[in-house]
Chains A and B, each alone.
Chain A
Amino acid sequence: MTQSPTLSRRTASAPTQPRKSRRRGADARAGYTFLLPWLLGFIALTVGPMISSLYLSFTNYNLFDAPKWIGFDNYVTLFQDERFLQSVGVTMQYVVFGTPLKLAAALAIAMLLNSKRKGQGFYRSAFYAPSLIGASVSIAIVWKAMFGDSGPVDQGLSFFGINLGGWVGNPNMTMGMMILLTVWQFGAPMVIFLAGLKQIPVDLYEAASMDGAGPVRKFMNITWPMLSPVIFFNLLMETIHAFQIFASAYIISNGEGGPAGSTLFYTLYLYLRGFSDFRMGYASAMAWLLVIVVGIITLIFFKTSKSWVHYSGDAK
């Protein structure tokens, strides 16, 4: 664990020849010109709003009147706000349970789809499709109808003698429903897992078979370590993604985070604070707190990853 992976293509730079430097300057200019539209958009639509939201997070701003500077008041008030704490709890539940389940589903299906069989292309598309449309409003509406009172889920379960009633109106069931919705959208991490699985040399498995390793052993000793950079990537992306859940929660709870605050996700509360209660300064503070927390979690992931993520160049 002492040596960090070296990327060979970065060190292998292009041959430098003085007579071509003029040409390279022109190339750079052309490059920047082509980059310009994106750069302008990035500054105007991302950096600009971020800076102004940072400023607003220290103010009392109601969208209409000029913002009033109040220092750290918003950040202090946040921690006395029960609904804020509730939204943190709801979001953490979703991240902690939803993300690993989703990744497990993605990995399991990816391993199934990795083996050669008939109609493989069809299955891959079929499993990927939900994540293409999953974030859309229409799916949230369908989901709500499915889990509603006497919806298909309720009826299906009562066929087996389980009478839970509708999930949408039951504060104890809504989180399960939201997690199921995200697990069902495992397509994107699945595709990445699939690509990762293809990279694992088949002879490793063959050798293991000769040594008499079973499927569990092969998974633990070959698949998991070989796939660990991909698992790490997916874990990071999906965790960040889970923190940002909004659209489906908004639709399923009619934009209110109900019932009884059980779907009051962080971003939903942020939105309600900003646009329902006209407290944009407060909402900005919430947004920046989210940035900071996600940043810290990412950092922790990177720090701990050293102990379990293996790159092919690593000396063991």
Chain B
Amino acid sequence: MIDRRKFLTTVALGTASAAFLSACGQSSSSGQTGSAENPVTITYTWWGNDDRAERTRKAIALFESKNPDIKVNGNFSDFPGYWQKRATEAAGGGLPDVMQWDLSYLRDYGQRNQLLDLGTVKINTDAFDKSLLPSGQIRGKTYGIPTSTNAFAVYYDPAKLASLGIAEPDGTWNYKEFNAFLAEVGAKGNGTLFGGTDYTGIWWNFNIWLRQNNIQAFTEDGKLGFSKDDLKKWWNLTADLRGTGAIVGEDKATQLLPKSPFGSNVTATEVTWDNFMAGYLADSGAKELKLVPVPSDDPDNLGLFLKPSMLMVASAKTKYKDAAARFIDFMVNDPEVGQIFKTSRGVPASKTQRDGTTFEGTDKLVVDYEKSIEKYLKDAPEPPIVGFGTLESTFKRVTQDLNYGKLTVDGAVDAWFKEAEDLIKQNA
């Protein structure tokens, strides 16, 4: 049996020592910073594939070895799940301290006071291109620091084209020529290799097409800048290709998730951001992938722009502002971090990181691609409207229904506009 006195003494001692220990922990200036013996732990989350996870782990290890007073707890998920998790956490007031962020969602969270104003903490932005920083700012406050830039491009796998006896494209093509190219791959690929994914399903590609036609996607007062007719024209571009070998079937693409058809070696091309290179190489095991500009019916206006491929943000409620700022500063500026990620996050946005990184092979291809399109680059589009993330995913979903044959182009246009108008009304 437990002796009563002994028991009470133990409890008293335990309580006293716990109080003592916690007092020690707090003694180092207000509990907000750590020390090498008693580091603070911040949480960091990002989206991406295994390749990015591996690189991020390396970067975190490097940060911890240089900053023994901070520990970083990292975790990641795929892109769609990522935003559902953040919404849940935001509602509960428990966003991770530091997060990888996307331009599409910056307004939703920044404007609603969920993100830390990074102007209030110490992050060095001297090495950044001044035209890029505003994309992380809303109403004069800096909520996100770009890690890197990316631009839209057409990927292709030279080895696959060679095996089909198709010449490599040089990237000067209009939509008709591009479609003919996809159809040729499909015809020669004979059911095992498709031309590409339906490129009209990607919002940003549509946005580029609008720019090629000198149309603004969103007006300054947060309304749609294009008409139903424009969207109809866009979705009709691939109307003849859907259901043929030129475009991979939606059922096949769905089965392959979370990998893309291109990463799974089912298509010969893919139209998307140039920083997906590392991920595609890792997923597909291809020896080499190449990049050319997107098609345009106006050869002088490709509608291209540099977008911050990712941003680093901190939670407005973080208890460790200082540690979070140091981690962000490290992730965007440290030359060794540039060396770890190369172009897998995009071309590094800060000059120190760019200069400290040796780009070889495919990484050099990405950097060279962004250099080659320099003369076509125009200002990035207006920061998307509140709720843009929903619009973007609806865009994708509606195009999937198109490809399943569940919707006609007209029906798809109506469905998307209904959602968009409803959303704009909601957030007005």
Contacts and interface: CB of A to CB of B under 8 A. Distances in A.
Given A60-B426, A82-B415, A277-B390, A260 B400 contact: yes
A65 B387 CA distance: 14
Interface of A: 60, 62-65, 82, 148-149, 165-166, 168-171, 254-256, 258-261, 271-272, 274-280
B165 interface: no
B87 A275 contact: yes
Nearest to A154: B255
Q: By CB atoms of chain B within 10 A, which of A63, A258, A277 has the most?
A: A277
Contacts of B88: 275
Contacts of A277: 387, 390, 423
Interface of B: 78, 80-81, 83-84, 87-88, 90-91, 108-109, 112-114, 249-258, 387, 389-390, 393, 397, 400-401, 404, 406, 415, 423, 426-427
30 contacts: A63-B90, A64-B112, A64-B113, A65-B112, A149-B255, A149-B256, A166-B251, A166-B255, A169-B254, A169-B255, A254-B78, A254-B80, A254-B81, A254-B258, A255-B80, A256-B80, A258-B400, A259-B250, A259-B254, A260-B404, A260-B406, A261-B406, A274-B87, A275-B87, A275-B88, A275-B91, A276-B83, A276-B87, A276-B390, A276-B393
B224 to A, nearest CB: 17
B87 A258 contact: no
B91 A280 contact: yes
Contacts, number: 82
A62 B406 CA distance: 31
A149 B397 contact: no
Contact of A259 (B389, B393, B404): B404
A170 B390 contact: no
B80 A170 contact: no
A143 to B, nearest CB: 13
Given A259-B254, A276-B84, A171 B404 contact: yes
A203 B165 CA distance: 81
Contacts of A168: 254-255
Q: Is the interface of B mostly helix, strand, loop or mixed?
A: helix
B108 A259 contact: no
Given A63-B90, A64-B114, A258-B254, A278 B84 contact: no
A82 B427 CA distance: 21
Contacts of A256: 80, 393, 397
B251 A64 contact: no
A55 B114 CA distance: 24
A254 B255 CA distance: 10
Contacts of A169: 249-255
A292 to B, nearest CB: 24
Given A254-B258, A255-B80, A279 B426 contact: yes
Contacts of B397: 256, 258
Contacts of B81: 254-255
Contacts of B87: 63, 274-276, 278
Contacts of B401: 260-261
Nearest to B113: A64
A63 B427 CA distance: 12
A274 B112 CA distance: 16
A258 B256 CA distance: 13
Contacts of A276: 83-84, 87, 389-390, 393
Q: By CB atoms of chain B within 10 A, which of A261, A274, A275 has the most?
A: A275
A10 B147 CA distance: 71
Contacts of A165: 251
A215 to B, nearest CB: 44
Q: By CB atoms of chain B within 10 A, which of A62, A82, A148 has the most?
A: A62
A280 B207 CA distance: 29
Given A171-B404, A279-B426, A259 B90 contact: no
